[in-house]
Amino acid sequence: MYVPEAAVHVAFLPSAGMGHLNPCLRLASVFLRHGCKVTLIIPKPTFTLAESNLISRLCSSFPHHVTQIDFNITPLDPTTVNTANDPFFLQYETIRRSVHLLSPILSSLSTSLSAIIVDVFLISPILPIVEKMFCPSYIHFTSSARMLSFLAYASVLADSDPAAQPHPSTFVGDAIHIPGITLSIPRSSVPPPFLLEGINFFKRMIMEDGRNLKKYDGVFINSFEELEGEALAALNEGKVVRGLPSVYGIGPLMTCEFENVDEGEKGCMSWIVEWLNERGEGSVVYVSLGNRTETRREQIKDMTLGLIECGYSFLWVVKLTRVDREEKEDLEDVVGSELMSKVREKGVVVKDFVEQTKILGHPAVGGFVTHGGWNSITESIREGVPILTWPQHGDQKINAEVVRMSGVGIWAEEWGWGTQKVVEGKDIAKRIKEMMSNESLRVKAGEMKEAARKACGVGGSCEVIIKRLTEEWKRKAHVN
């Protein structure tokens, strides 16, 4: 397909990790399907090989419409940071501290930009650069609209009580009541780093970036009216914070062709699909608590017992080490051969990369036990699979409330944060049975699936938004 010189040209600057990169590339593919030219500015080195492979596949899928530019980030000085911290946050910090190197990259583009879309973790550091550019700038927010309302309103709370800084915990109280949002956010759901004494990366980002949201032209978010209508309306009507830019619900972002891995990368997927093909419709529990951090050793045994006791077949993607560490153990090394033999009777356990959307889309999968990452939630909703959320950290309790409010799943709130307490196997089994046997969840998940497909389909809200914006950008380009 020929792309004329006057075509809309959009630059994307993602952050670290598949949880941020994948939805960024899915959003880029939406613009590509609408005839836009895309430039990917990729922080190098990437955090994982999976990220590099995903980028390469997108570029190969649109060879004439995508340009990749490497953004070589400067390594952190180990004397100024704690290298034992979460590896993702270390990478985020590295990128944030390197953004001053972007100016010559952006000025060297052969075609002028119609817009630039920047990852949420780069709101403040890149602001001085985008403010000097002659094109609209947008934020790509990778969580729920409910979480965005928290991000925007938290800085307002701090500004209203200057004596509380730098300890936001002093003004959170029992809950945060966000204007325009019916259900308040309890203190127990606030991301734990925000409540710590002193300044940390996450707290600084929330406080600083929340204030700077107003300086952008808009926010793209992977959500839609039927799922988060109240929160999206509150944000766009100025109820949460006056002066916020438009929040565009362009979700749910669809799985794209470029995500299909090559034969050499498929790993365990072929036999997983074969195994699923042998199971009855809706009979399998899919379990994955994310790819960032490991499941704690003290929780592994009870998790195993719970899956065995629940009575359903299960597919468990288990992570025994942090994402930046090599997997050296098998589950049998942790739980023992006797328990492992019982696992094999009812389910399968994998440690390798899996194509999650392909698993969720399989008719045999009847429920999803997830950490509550927003990508996982929207992927499950798009496939109509009921959800049991078990938040581990960050925004995941806030997202879990969205799941519960929408009626597509349940949240085991009494379990707390998955990184802080051990949940007994019998309790895990009980909650899985509740999810798998609840007909109202299944009906609601099916209804939300239809609403999701409509939102991202032909003539849906996503298409309407993208068409309107690209036409606006074209008009501005002619004026300039």
Q: Which two tokens stand for residue 100?
A: 């001053």
Pick 9-256+458-479's CATH classification: 3.40.50.300, 3.40.50.2000, 3.30.2400.10, 3.10.180.10: 3.40.50.2000
Predicted confidence (pLDDT) at residue 171 exceeds the cutoff of 60 = no
What single string gives the DSSP state of each residue in 255-278? P-GGGSPPGGG-TTHHHHHHHHHT
262-454 under CATH 3.40.50.300, yes or no: no
Residue among 140, 106, 135, 110 at smallest CA distance from 123: 140
End-to-end CA gap in the chain: 27
Predicted confidence (pLDDT) at residue 85 exceeds the cutoff of 70 = no
Task: Classify residue 472 as exposed, middle or buried by CB count within 10 Å of its CB (0-12, 13-18, 19+).
Answer: middle
Q: Distance (Å, rounded) from C-alpha 371 to C-alpha 298?
A: 17
When mean pLDDT is compared across 202-211, 268-277, 459-468, the lowest value belongs to 202-211
Q: Which two tokens stand for residue 315?
A: 């597919």
Predicted confidence (pLDDT) at residue 265 exceeds the cutoff of 60 = no
The residue ranges of every structural domain in the chain are 9-256+458-479, 262-454
Classify strands 347-350 and 313-317 as parallel, antiparallel or unpaired.
Answer: parallel
Residue 154's pLDDT is: 85
CB 103 within 8 A of CB 126: no
Contacting residues for 399 by C-beta, under 8 A, at least 6 apart: 143, 144, 146, 147, 372, 373, 374, 377, 389, 391
Which pLDDT band holds residue 1 (cuts at 50, 70, 90)? very low
Task: Classify residue 110 as exposed, middle or buried by CB count within 10 Å of its CB (0-12, 13-18, 19+).
Answer: exposed
Q: How many residues can be counted in the chain?
A: 480
Residue 371 DSSP class = -
Q: Distance (Å, rounded) from C-alpha 14 to C-alpha 24?
A: 6
pLDDT tens-digit series, residues 172-211: 578 889 999 999 999 999 998 888 777 677 777 788 888 9
Predicted confidence (pLDDT) at residue 263 exceeds the cutoff of 60 = no
| Inter-CA distances, 205 with 122, 193, 254, 445, Å | 9, 11, 29, 34
Residue 420's pLDDT is: 86
The one catalytic residue in 9, 65, 119, 140 is 119
- The residue written with tokens 């581990």 in the block is 392
Calculate mean pLDDT across residues 420-448: 96
SS3 106: helix
pLDDT tens-digit series, residues 379-418: 999 999 999 999 999 999 999 999 999 999 999 999 999 9
Secondary-structure percent of the chain, ordered helix, strand, coil, rounded to 5? 50, 15, 35
| Helix or strand (DSSP H, E) at 97 | helix 87-98
Q: Is 77 tagged catalytic?
A: no
Residue 45's pLDDT is: 86
β-partners of residue 185 are: 176
Task: Classify residue 107 as exposed, middle or buried by CB count within 10 Å of its CB (0-12, 13-18, 19+).
Answer: exposed
Per the prediction, the chain carries an average pLDDT of 88
Contacting residues for 40 by C-beta, under 8 A, at least 6 apart: 11, 12, 14, 25, 28, 55, 58, 59, 66, 67, 68, 69
Residue type, 370: T
Most confident stretch, 167-176, 234-243, 263-272, 349-358? 234-243
Calculate mean pLDDT across residues 233-259: 92
Residue 330's pLDDT is: 73
Residue 337's pLDDT is: 81
Residue 379's pLDDT is: 97
pLDDT tens-digit series, residues 32-78: 999 999 999 999 988 788 888 889 989 988 888 999 999 999 888 77
CB 106 within 8 A of CB 69: no
β-partners of residue 313 are: 284
Q: Please count the other Cβ atoms lying within 10 Å of the Cβ belonging to residue 71.
A: 17
Residue 268's pLDDT is: 83
Q: Greater confidence, 265 or 233?
A: 233
Q: Distance (Å, rounded) from C-alpha 337 to C-alpha 406?
A: 41
β-partners of residue 285 are: 314, 367
Percent of the chain having pLDDT more than 90? 61
Which pLDDT band holds residue 80 (cuts at 50, 70, 90)? confident
Q: Distance (Å, rounded) from C-alpha 97 to C-alpha 107?
A: 19
Residue 320's pLDDT is: 72
Sign (positive or negative) of CA dihedral 353, 355, 357, 360:
negative
Residue 40's pLDDT is: 96
Are both 9-256+458-479 and 262-454 of the same fold? yes
pLDDT tens-digit series, residues 466-480: 999 999 998 877 665
Residue type, 178: I
Calculate mean pLDDT across residues 420-435: 96
Residue 6's pLDDT is: 53
Residue 234's pLDDT is: 97
Which pLDDT band holds residue 442 (cuts at 50, 70, 90)? very high
Q: Distance (Å, rounded) from C-alpha 302 to C-alpha 289?
A: 15
Q: Distance (Å, rounded) from C-alpha 393 to C-alpha 331?
A: 23
Residue 164's pLDDT is: 46
When mean pLDDT is compared across 3-7, 14-18, 157-161, the lowest value belongs to 3-7
- The residue written with tokens 């309407």 in the block is 464
Task: Classify residue 167 as exposed, middle or buried by CB count within 10 Å of its CB (0-12, 13-18, 19+).
Answer: middle
Residue 166's pLDDT is: 44
The one catalytic residue in 9, 20, 65, 393 is 20
Predicted confidence (pLDDT) at residue 262 exceeds the cutoff of 70 = no
CB 155 within 8 A of CB 132: no
Q: Is 302 tagged catalytic?
A: no
Q: Greater confidence, 232 or 4?
A: 232
Residue 2's pLDDT is: 36
Residue 5's pLDDT is: 46
Q: Distance (Å, rounded) from C-alpha 83 to C-alpha 79?
A: 9
